[in-house]
Amino acid sequence: MAIKNSGSQLKFSEIEQEFGQNNGRSLGRYRNTHPDFKNENLGELSNLPLDTGIPTSGQIKFSHFYGKRLNIVVDLYESGNSNYGLNVFTDRFKNGNYQIVGDYRKTITKSDSEWQGGKKVIIHINKIFGSAGATAESHVAVDMGDIDDNNANHWPTATTFQIDVGGEGLVGGRGGKGGDAGNEETAGENGGRGTSGMKIHPSFEDEISGESRIFGGGGGGGSGGGAEQNDWGDKNSAGGGGGGGGAGIPAGADGSAPGSGEAGGTNQAPSANVGGDGGNGGDNAEAEGGRGGNGGDRSESGENASGGRSRERGNGSGGEAGERYVFY
């Protein structure tokens, strides 16, 4: 731990080395109710103690500090990001976008002399982080950052983590594109796959609060195929309906309908929360194009296209959803 565990006598200088000096060398100033104590309220986090187990009121003594470590809140609560791949370590922490609970230390680096055997990093997300530009399932909106003592762009090995997503925070993969419908003579197209929400280490999966606000993009709906009826020279044909785009940040594009069917999203466009609806297939006498499938909601696959009759050309399948988490 950053401060030694119980055993030998703890010196005030050891506490200062970890948490920083306070005027008067008073343990009481390390309570978050003291006027000198700062950064106890950050984003939606409130009443933060110096570290878990250090009293915020009442008696405070040296034994409360055994095994404790500096708490660092990385700032993902004042500004979001629209493009995929934000790395918490390199894009926020290394750029100084963090606050130290207590504010008795103003800055911290990865160096061995400052990290002192481990720190607690709280990744507090209270803005929207999307996945514009993502093209693969493994592309994530937010990457918590890898852990490696020997790499300058990774967290030190001894770091402990807490990930907290506030009520205004969202971390979302891009929605899959809805399939483009078949015209009167062609088959429907499969919906596209959504991309993923966040890259984390498996050991920290249980340290995440508000995880329902982290999600993979929904898969795009499959599109309907065209259809044709030709009975003794009486020829009729109809185009399929486009698939709805999957939910995500950004939502997937709806599928087009180059024939007589409806485009995806005609009645309900996709959003960050829900997929777009599939378009109806065209209907011409006995020829009926397939209906496009709805795009998937958050972390849900898109629907297959359905229906169609009289030499229907084949419907598209719904695309798979992106994952909530991708693991190192």
pTM: 0.92
| 48 residue type, one letter | L
Report, in this order, helix, strand and coil percent for the chain, each rounded to 5. Answer: 10, 20, 65
- Which tokens hold the place of 29? 């100033």
Domain boundaries, the chain: 12-172, 180-328
Residue 6, classified by CB atoms within 10 Å of its CB into exposed (0-12), middle (13-18) or buried (19+), is exposed
Number of Cβ atoms within 10 Å of the Cβ of 69: 23
Report how far residue 221's alpha carbon sits from residue 177's, in angstroms, rounded to the nearest whole number. 8
Report how far residue 130's alpha carbon sits from residue 142's, in angstroms, rounded to the nearest whole number. 8
Under-70 pLDDT residues of the chain: 1, 232, 310-312
Q: Give 76-90 pLDDT, tens digit per residue.
A: 999 999 999 999 999
CA distances from 146 to 150, 151, 157, 226, 320 (A): 11, 9, 9, 49, 27
pLDDT at 312: 67
Report how far residue 229's alpha carbon sits from residue 203's, in angstroms, rounded to the nearest whole number. 59
Report how far residue 311's alpha carbon sits from residue 133's, in angstroms, rounded to the nearest whole number. 39
Three-class DSSP category at 193: coil
